[in-house]
Structure 1
Amino acid sequence: MTPAAAGTPVAPAEVTAPPTVGVEEEFVLAGRHSRAAVHRAPSVVRAALGRIGASHVTAEVSQAQVETVSAVCRTAAELEAEIVRLRRGAAAAAAEYDCLLVPSGTPVLGRPGPPPIADKPRYRAFARRFGPLMHDQGVNACHVHVGVDDREEAVRAVNHLRGWMPLLLAITGNSPYSDGTDTAYASWRTMVWSRWPSAGPPPYLRGVAHYERIVGQLIASGAAMDPAMIYWYVRPSPHLPTLEVRIADVLPEAATTAAYALLVRALVAGAVQAVRTGEPAPEVPDPLLRAACWQAARHGTSGILPATHTRDHTPTAVGPLVEELWKRVEPQLTGYGDDRRVGDWLSAVQSRGSGSSRQRRIAGHHGGSLQAVVDTLAVEPR
């Protein structure tokens, strides 16, 4: 149990005002009757524009996907209310076209495409360059943006965050099923997304100049079309003064998404503080970090991961790693008033597993019915 979840009093931390936080969530559209992925995003996005605002909803590469983009938030209550607003509004728009809005990293039933791809010049360029690699890339993530104004600090903070990516993936896996099949992975989305040549854990970065040189080389090599296509699990945003953590599957509930985003905010804030105080970051070998992310995607909370946030990388069960993560973020969480909310969620993950475990429990309780999984996950329209 984390101290917050156990009710242990914790002294307020010496921290400044919390950084801003925002969330992008991707969802699959499922037919109301078939519960399989359907390609109705152009219509659903148009319907959602008037409900939640043009800046808060967009199409993704697959026409079976919808993405919501939150406002910039400061407090936990503001963030959760915004996530609820966007989810319900997008679900109401989906209902207009006989769809369910489903927060699962991959479609439980049916294939998401592309093809067909969303009708945007960028995505058409993707198809020309990468060809069949795009097939079935209709997978759904949760991206968290945390405000970091100083670009040099943001780049160097990546080094303190990259070792935590396997654990964050293990506790947020929410895509065990794909096209009606149990993949035996906790996050099949991660395996599909890792096909991109620019996807995966970030390298150890020596500073802004080093970061820009690597990005330029990837673009020159053809592995990426522009900086926005550097699909590292944590990166400085190419267009915002934020650090963006991109490791998680879309999460099943708004409250879970909010708790995860607050955890990420605390972790980022601690990383920035480590940069400012000169704390060295462990130089985790890239192959080990990639292997640890695969292990997290495969086994989720039941696995053993190398402790890639440390220098010795000792293989450790996920439960003790969560406790180590808690110790790392507790000062920030306490100072921001987020310790109870995040602690309760982490305790639930330790006792019941992540979203992938929940999906499998739902199927088990309904005689293996994956339609029941879709129905249980689907967001209620407002």
Structure 2
Amino acid sequence: MEPTACRPRAEVGATVGVEEEFHLVDPATLALTPSPELVAAAVRHELGDRVHPEITTTQLETATGVCRSLDELRAELTAARAQARAAATGAGVLLLAASTHPFAGWREQVITPDPRYEAMVDRWAALAVRQDIAGCHVHVGVPDVGTAVAVLDRARPYLPLLLAMTGSSPFHDGADTGYESYRTLWWGRWPHTGIPEPLGTAAGYREVVDGLVAAGVVGDASHLYWDVRPSSHLPTVEFRLADVCTELDDVVLHAALVRSLVRVLAARAEREEPVPRPRRELLRAARWRAARDGLGGQLFDPLAGGLVDARAAVEGLLAELADDLADRGEEDEVRNLVQQLFGRGTSAARQRAAWQRTADLRQVAASVVLGGAARD
């Protein structure tokens, strides 16, 4: 389920909402643990307005309401995490805030008994059954699909950098993958994920959707799993590229950057500035590099065609967004959050540090379980 719909015909970027997906783990062993009764209660909408089911009984999803300020978003995220954590604790499980579980695998999962999820398994078979990853999605209010498409077309070169700031999936199925966001690679097996080609117009978007429906890849636009897409039923553009952020501050930062970017890119579209068109192969290379190295090394700039220090790339993004953030009184907060992220590193860096310290994947899992004051 997605955040409550933004009001129709809203100003671009006036509203923002966030979805987060969490793994369910046993309090003693921290192993991935199905909780069918808990998820069934979520299917029946019994866990509160912010907590929803996911495709497996080892996950829960949270969704904020519509927010108009970063303070409101922070409060909503805090409340959503608390609501989900209370529901999980009541069912005897904990929430793990990372995109992959460090040592469990898809075989520990059970598909949620719900027609939507059963239809997904019927359509995508093993891809759906082996979907043992979690993500973070940001919805930003836009007045219409045409604006969403204009933003999507212009956002493509920025997506790898946004990904690099959120990596939380270095371990998968008990092994160090060598990536900060192995989720990105695992997710990439699907036929309709990644960075889409420029769509041009709302009609161009609908043409692509119709083609994918005709091919049987999707049943409708709600099953487009691109890194960024127009929402199928909300007046929003949705960014779906991020790993789950363990730190709540990093969620706020990611959402703030996404919302500011939407405002800036929509303004460029309004001025009819040209759409950047990096080759798809170079975008794929930039996305791969971001998933591998995160903020710990160099990233590939798909427009310049060369490597750039990751932190310098973040500073470059902040420079592009500075006027917009300053106009809305958000620049100081965003810069402070960036410096915090630089200082402590991503969740992936935290997990690798726990592994290097202990050589124990349970301690890695413990480092990303929600419940400590430092994390939420």
Moved more, 348-357 or 243-252: 348-357
The yes-or-no answer on 1:39 pairing with 2:34 is yes
Determine the structure 2 residue equivalent to 1:334. Answer: 326
Structure 1 residues 114 and 293: CA distance shift in structure 2, 3 A:
farther
Q: Deviations over 1:180-223 (max 9, x none)?
A: 22111101111111111111101112111111111111121122
Aligned with residue 153 of structure 1, among 130, 140, 147? 147
The yes-or-no answer on 1:24 pairing with 2:19 is yes
CA contact (8 A) 2:121 2:129 kept: no
Q: Could you tell me how far apart the structure 2 residues matched to 1:66 and 1:376 are? A: 19
TM-score, length of structure 1 as denominator length: 0.89
Number of residue pairs the alignment of both structures matches: 362
Q: Could you tell me how far apart the structure 2 residues matched to 1:342 and 1:20 are? A: 17
The yes-or-no answer on 1:377 pairing with 2:373 is no
CA contact (8 A) 1:303 1:318 kept: yes
Determine the structure 1 residue equivalent to 2:5. Answer: none
Structure 1 residues 228 and 346: CA distance shift in structure 2, 3 A:
same
Q: Which amino acid aligns with 1:159?
A: D
The yes-or-no answer on 1:363 pairing with 2:358 is no
Q: Which amino acid aligns with 2:60?
A: V
Q: Could you tell me how far apart the structure 2 residues matched to 1:251 and 1:242 are? A: 22
* Structure 1 residue 175, shift from structure 2 partner: 0.7
The yes-or-no answer on 1:95 pairing with 2:89 is yes
Q: Which amino acid aligns with 1:326?
A: L
1:127-206 residue pairs with structure 2 within 5 A? 127-206=121-200
Structure 1 residues 23 and 113: CA distance shift in structure 2, 3 A:
farther
Q: Which amino acid aligns with 2:184?
A: T
Structure 1 residues 62 and 51: CA distance shift in structure 2, 3 A:
closer
Structure 1 residues 299 and 41: CA distance shift in structure 2, 3 A:
farther
* Structure 1 residue 27, shift from structure 2 partner: 0.4
Q: Could you tell me how far apart the structure 2 residues matched to 1:109 and 1:162 are? A: 33
Q: Could you tell me how far apart the structure 1 residues matched to 2:63 and 2:339 are? A: 28
Q: Which amino acid aligns with 1:116?
A: V
Q: Could you tell me how far apart the structure 1 residues matched to 2:240 and 2:134 are? A: 11
The yes-or-no answer on 1:354 pairing with 2:346 is yes
Structure 1 residues 294 and 372: CA distance shift in structure 2, 3 A:
same
Q: Deviations over 1:158-188 (max 9, x none)?
A: 1111110111111111111123221111011
Q: Which amino acid aligns with 1:153?
A: T
Q: Which amino acid aligns with 1:369?
A: D
* Structure 1 residue 372, shift from structure 2 partner: 2.1
Moved more, 367-376 or 161-170: 367-376
Q: Could you tell me how far apart the structure 2 residues matched to 1:113 and 1:232 are? A: 26
Q: Which amino acid aligns with 1:33?
A: A
SS in 1 for 2:143: coil
The yes-or-no answer on 1:75 pairing with 2:69 is yes
CA contact (8 A) 1:62 1:114 kept: no
* Structure 1 residue 70, shift from structure 2 partner: 0.5
- % identical aligned pairs: 36
Q: Could you tell me how far apart the structure 1 residues matched to 2:308 and 2:12 are? A: 34
CA contact (8 A) 1:111 1:179 kept: yes
Q: Deviations over 1:237-256 (max 9, x none)?
A: 11110010111001002222
SS in 1 for 2:225: coil
SS in 1 for 2:194: coil
Moved more, 121-130 or 234-243: 121-130
Aligned with residue 241 of structure 2, among 242, 247, 257? 247
CA contact (8 A) 2:149 2:205 kept: yes
Structure 1 residues 363 and 269: CA distance shift in structure 2, 3 A:
same
Q: Could you tell me how far apart the structure 2 residues matched to 1:135 and 1:282 are? A: 37
Q: Could you tell me how far apart the structure 2 residues matched to 1:283 and 1:186 are? A: 27
CA contact (8 A) 1:28 1:107 kept: yes
TM-score, length of structure 2 as denominator length: 0.91
1:113-128 residue pairs with structure 2 within 5 A? 113=107, 115-128=109-122
Moved more, 157-166 or 112-121: 112-121
Q: Could you tell me how far apart the structure 2 residues matched to 1:47 and 1:213 are? A: 35
CA contact (8 A) 1:52 1:89 kept: yes
* Structure 1 residue 24, shift from structure 2 partner: 0.3
Unpaired runs of 5+ in structure 2?
1-10
Q: Could you tell me how far apart the structure 2 residues matched to 1:66 and 1:45 are? A: 11
